[in-house]
Chains A and B, each alone.
Chain A
Amino acid sequence: MPQSASALPRLFLASALALALAVPGASLFAAPTVAAPLKAADAAAFADIKIGGDIESFRLDNGLEVVVIPDRRAPVVTHMIWYRVGAADEPAGMSGVAHFLEHLMFKGTEKNPDGAFSKRVAAIGGQENAFTSNDYTAYFQRIAREHLPEMMALEADRMENLILTDAVVAPERDVVLEERRMRVENDPGAMLGETLDAVLYVNHPYGTPVIGWPSEISALSKDNAIAFYDQFYTPNNAILIVAGDVDAETVRTMAEDTYGKVAQRADPGDRVRPRAQRVPGALEVDLADPRVNQPNLRKAWLVPSYTTDEADNAPALDILAEILGGGSTSRLYRSLVIDQGIASSAGGWYQSSTLDDSRFMVYAVPSDGTSLEDLGAATRGVIDTLIAEGVTEAELERAKTGLLSSALYAQDSQSSLARMFGVALTTGSTIEQVRSWPGAISAVTAEDVRKAAETYLAPRPVTAYLRAPEAASAPTAKQ
């Protein structure tokens, strides 16, 4: 839902900054000075890859930022408008209003009433949707390229002319409550995730669920949504991203004819939120629910995102996440699942792209006969070993290969590219930072990774236990 970006696939997060794509391939795999597991010929061949697609960006007079990512393989475009506003920008006590407004944006305007936009998208065989996270809200259509000007006109219209009535708002609020039941209340693991966030972000809005608390969603009104809209939906707070069968000059002309006519409606100002505080003491959250028959545990640390990173540690955290928790060759998986046999799965990830301080998360699912507490201690042990002994060059190179190749694979999907740029630009990164990401990854050393682990994972995490109530504990092993 991703709302909370933590729900985004790990690889996507890693590659959210991987906009290497317009960078000459030569820098991609250039770093290793050590014997890489890649054969030399392979590394050289990687470097020879010519990455297609020139990204261009510019700004309209009204402040709208525009990014164009050409991909001429199919006569299709992805048209996205991103607003630099998300759940973390909501007024206190009004959780869920960003997401609620996202739903209501489909209701209509004076010129295009009664869901006319969606009807038009369907009539031309387009696909559309929208999504909300802590830091951004985005709307998109995927269409044959000749419909791009019409989509821009419709999207520009609803940037300033949304009309809501109680008649459409009330049922949509029920839809959102059903969405919350589906995503959260029907799933004790998701409920625990909300609790974990609330404890990890003790003073920061990332601790509030993007979809909102049920009682606050229920109280949201038409006027709340419109007030939020009027405060944040304005061209100077938006980014237009067009990926696909287009060129920048054509997009510029189209954008000036449509979005360019929308006046600035507000000045949202800087996005200043309280700095996330690390509070002392052992922090554990524990949810016992009869709907659980497969327990698990998670550990979460507050860490810098690429945006808040002042000590150049974010690339090392990306690599640390790969080595510690990325798939079946990772430290956690090998130790807990294969060598010790005390977990049925284990892994971790780093949420790299957020406006404020982010999180590093590890998880493990116990094998029968292993307690969550013992599994937690063993997880801690794996991390302590990594801090004490560091990582091997082979691990380092494998992690780099995984991260950098994700940037190459990402070229296959114009939608993925558009999303990566949208996430980066709405969470405080620049296009240039995205482009230089492969270089930053390549430059990370084994000691950088060890140091990042020591700095950020040696302190106590918030630990979350999901389990069945005592009486109905997890089934024991079948004979």
Chain B
Amino acid sequence: MGISTAAARPAARLPALWRTGLVAFAVIASLAIATVDARAVEIQTVETPGGLTAWLVEDHTVPIVAVNFAFAGGSAQDPDGKAGLANLMAATLDEGAGELDSQAYRQRLEDLAVKIGFDAGRDAFYGSLRTLTPNVDEAFELLRIAVNEPRFDAEAVGRMQRQIVSGLRREQKDPDAIASRVMSETAYPDHPYGRPSNGTEESVTALTPADLKALHGRLVARGELKISVVGAIDAERLAALLDATFADLPENADLTPVGDVTPKTGIRKDVAFDVPQTSIRLSLPGLKRDDPDFIPAYVMNHILGGGSFSSWLYEEVREKRGLAYSVGSYLVPYDHSGAFLAATGTRSDRAPETIAIITAMMTRMAKDGPSAEELAKAKAFLTGSYALRFDTSDKIASQLLGIQMEELGLDYIDNRNAMIDAVTLDDIRRVAERLLANADPIVVTVGAGAS
């Protein structure tokens, strides 16, 4: 209940560092099947003659085709000293390809009302295509040349570098962005997850088209490519288009191994910055997605700080005391680590009180756990809200991609609600004990009066 829809959801405020994790989490969070109705999402597995695999939900109701895909390896693959390279590649792949320079390519997209975009996560490199049905062939051709034949012209690369640097400068004065950046550096020193995904002004300025070509050669391969498609297209036609688009890519990516890592604990960082509202972040080691306790942890977190208008943190920090507009907690699973994060912002003189309440709620969860009624309500929400994640082509495509990337299997959608329903109070206590007992979090504040 904010002024805006988006703003009332704290996740919207979390800066880029945690974005990948949150995206993955959101996907995972939504895998429950709609038991509401028989018209559940029907997934076809499309095996192309060229040897690619894609998941397809065919639906001709609206004249739109949505494609989401991902290559293994994201910004964690940025070479030392080249932080921000994958992010720059995401910004430049659609800035000219094949015979088309940047302006020609962008004009062609607009003339055909085709949307193509790329995004570098920590562990994966994402792409998306949206087209109206009459232009499906042309849309895939534009995607093909972006993926296979990006130009990385000096003009376009330089322009995107300036644009990114401009954003980085703004972030240097944004308390939320500062807090997130400090948190990742502190939690993951000497690890790729500790580096800024978007780089720094220095690192981004030093990048070259040759760096982009090198990363493109390493990352963009068909071996670990995951694809999901939703909309007005049948399997046969899709298979041919996918082969034309992706089949000529090299088989294997050339990825630098990323080590497993446990985030640090017990560090306090107060960044002095003259703003009226202090940004607050707490973090603890969390769970990777393949941890057997992940689902219980997810339910536990919903009760603690995940629920929009119903969590303990919402009740204690916002509703009872009016300390913050936005407060919440999150599980952030990466491929090689897991974190638990809490975030809020409050007026500077009440920051210590707010931090104390958040830690007290974490302790209460570890010590007492929720009531049976609270657990039942959390399950009801988590299972009942599933269908809301599947009511647009965009959402379905992103759900299916997430399931593939986490390797949860085609039947996961059918089983997920049962997994939530199977969580017991003992499970919650076990996982709360594991994550939150004797917690010694990293605490980061950015605001006035920090010492």
| A→B interface (CB under 8 Å) | 1-3, 7, 37-38, 41-42, 45-46, 48-52, 71-76, 99, 102-103, 105-106, 115, 118-119, 121-132, 142-146, 170-179, 181-183, 185-187, 210-211, 244, 290-294, 327-329, 334, 337-338, 344-345, 365, 367, 397-398, 401-402, 405, 408-409, 411-414, 474-475, 478
Contacts and interface: CB of A to CB of B under 8 A. Distances in A.
Which 8 residue pairs spanning A and B have beta carbons closest together?
A: A125-B384, A174-B322, A45-B134, A171-B322, A405-B113, A125-B385, A1-B3, A75-B37
A192 to B, nearest CB: 13
A72 B276 CA distance: 47
A39 B371 CA distance: 63
A118 B345 contact: no
Given A125-B383, A171-B320, A175-B324, A412 B392 contact: yes
Nearest to A168: B319
Interface in B349-382: 377, 380-382
B147 to A, nearest CB: 19
Interface stretch (B103-111, B262-270, B291-299, B427-435): B103-111
A210 B7 CA distance: 15
B276 A118 contact: no
* Chain A binding surface, main DSSP class: mixed
Contacts of B174: 186-187
A173 B325 CA distance: 10
Interface stretch (B119-127, B155-163, B329-337): B155-163
Contact of A181 (B169, B347, B385): B347
Interface stretch (B221-229, B247-255, B302-310): B302-310
Contacts of B210: none
A334 B322 contact: no
Nearest to B4: A1
Given A131-B4, A329-B106, A344-B162, A292 B173 contact: yes
Contact of A411 (B64, B307, B308): B64
B interface bracket (residues with beta carbon within 8 Å of A): 35 or more
A408 B3 contact: no
B8 interface: yes
A68 B39 CA distance: 22
Interface stretch (B55-63, B189-197, B235-243): B55-63
Given A49-B132, A126-B385, A183-B7, A401 B2 contact: no
A345 B166 contact: yes
B34 to A, nearest CB: 7
B399 interface: no
B165 interface: yes
Contacts of B36: 75, 144-146
A99 B4 CA distance: 10
Interface of B: 1-5, 7-8, 13, 34, 36-37, 39, 59, 61-64, 66, 102-103, 106-107, 110-113, 130, 132-135, 155, 159, 162-163, 165-167, 169-170, 172-175, 201-202, 205, 274-277, 307-310, 318-326, 345-347, 377, 380-388, 390-394
A31 to B, nearest CB: 15
A393 B300 CA distance: 58
A327 B384 contact: no
A126 B324 contact: no
Given A122-B309, A125-B383, A344 B163 contact: yes
Contact of A338 (B63, B103, B275): B103
Contact of A49 (B34, B133, B318, B394): B133
Contacts of A173: 322
Contact of B3 (A37, A121, A210): A210
B374 to A, nearest CB: 11
Contacts of B346: 178
Given A42-B135, A126-B385, A412-B392, A178 B59 contact: no
A54 to B, nearest CB: 13
A475 B169 contact: yes
Contacts of B345: 178, 181-182, 186
A456 to B, nearest CB: 24
B309 A128 contact: yes
Given A122-B381, A123-B380, A1 B2 contact: yes
